[in-house]
Amino acid sequence: MDKESIIAAAVQLFRTKGYHATTVREIADRLGVTSAALYYHVSSKEQILCEIFDKAMTAAERRLDRLMSLDVPTDKRLELIIHEHVMATLDEAPLMAVFFNDVEHLPSDSYQAAVERKKKYQDRIVEVFKEAIAQGILQDIDPELAVFGILGMCNWMHHWYRPDGRKSPDDVAQLFANMVLQGIRTQGSPRH
């Protein structure tokens, strides 16, 4: 048993039963260990939740870091950001569901740190939107509000998306990117 297996078991239980309804004993039972063995690796259920948040944010940040390092035109970067955010949400759907649904259960200091970390992530995307507006690629819209709307649309997918449905994650990601960018692109702005 390691932290990854603890996180995986907790994610399954938090997603099906809810954070408050899940006990440490149930997490230990899911892993086939005693509570004492579980406490050897983690100090509390709250710590497990903090680890889940860290894992989810780290995954999203790594994807964004990779995209920000690419030498691509700004409009292509925006398309890739939306695409990768959708993919991050779907690739780790159970983890992301806990991330989005249980943020209010974090201890106050961890909650504040999570809010600040999410804001830094969002701010990086806002800067790309500002750049696209300055270049005349996108309409002169409120970039922060646009990013909130786009991320909200993507983040809600864990509620309705089904892997066995009509569309693949890639199809949904491309649809969202096209829908958003075609809706706010300036007239005559070339596509890359």
- Do 179 and 150 fall within a single domain? yes
Read off φ and ψ for residue 42, nearest 5 degrees. -140, 150
Which CATH number fits the domain that encloses residue 178? 1.10.357.10
Do 46 and 108 contact (CB within 8 A), yes or no? no
- 21 falls within a domain: yes
Residues 103 and 37 in one domain: no
Give the pLDDT confidence of 45-69 residue by residue, as tens digits.
999 999 999 999 999 999 999 999 9
Overall number of domains in the chain = 2
Rg of the chain, C-alpha, whole Å? 19
- Residue 59 and residue 34 in one domain: no
Structure tokens at 69: 């390092």
Task: Specify if 189 maps to a domain.
Answer: no
Domain span at 133: 50-184
Residue 64 sits in the same domain as residue 10: no
> Is 192 a member of any domain?
no
150 belongs to a structural domain:
yes
70-107 per-position pLDDT tens digit: 999 999 999 999 999 998 888 888 888 898 888 889 99
Q: Rounded to an integer, what distance in angstroms lies between the CA atom of residue 76 and that of residue 131?
A: 12
In a domain, 190, yes or no: no
In a domain? residue 29: yes
Q: Does 93 lie in the same domain as 12?
A: no
Q: pTM for the full model?
A: 0.86
- Does 172 lie in the same domain as 83? yes
Q: Are residues 173 and 155 in the same domain?
A: yes
pLDDT 10s digits, 131-171 = 999 999 988 999 999 999 999 999 998 888 888 989 998 89
Instruction: With beta carbons less than 8 A apart as the criterion, state whether 72 and 29 touch.
Output: no
Q: Is the residue at 84 inside a domain? A: yes
